[in-house]
Amino acid sequence: MLDSTGLAILRYDTPDLHVVHRGSYVLCAVSGARIALKDLKYWSVAYQEAYRGAEEASAAARAGGARNLPKG
């Protein structure tokens, strides 16, 4: 049985996204916070990352992806 309540794996595209593995949420690449799929509005096609909001998306864009942001 497919789990639609756990972590989803998505491929981010413009203007849509594609489900690779069904789930009910993804994790914000900046904060690690859960984002319900129904609430997901910010992502990066270039970095294949999801973001909780505009602030996180902007910070990641300026840094060249969330992996380049300072930890902590």
The mean pLDDT of 42-71, rounded to a whole number, is 97
Question: Taking the complete model, does pTM exceed 0.85, yes or no?
Answer: yes
pLDDT by residue (tens digit) across 7-45?
Answer: 999 999 999 999 999 999 999 999 999 999 999 999 999
pLDDT score recorded for residue 4:
77
Query: What is the Cα–Cα distance from 66 to 53, expressed in whole angstroms?
Result: 13
Q: Which domain holds residue 43?
A: 9-68
Query: What is the Cα–Cα distance from 19 to 66, expressed in whole angstroms?
Result: 21
Asked if pLDDT for residue 64 goes beyond 90, the answer is yes
Total domain count for the chain?
1
1 part of a folded domain: no
pLDDT score recorded for residue 71:
82
Asked if pLDDT for residue 1 goes beyond 60, the answer is no
59 part of a folded domain: yes
30 part of a folded domain: yes
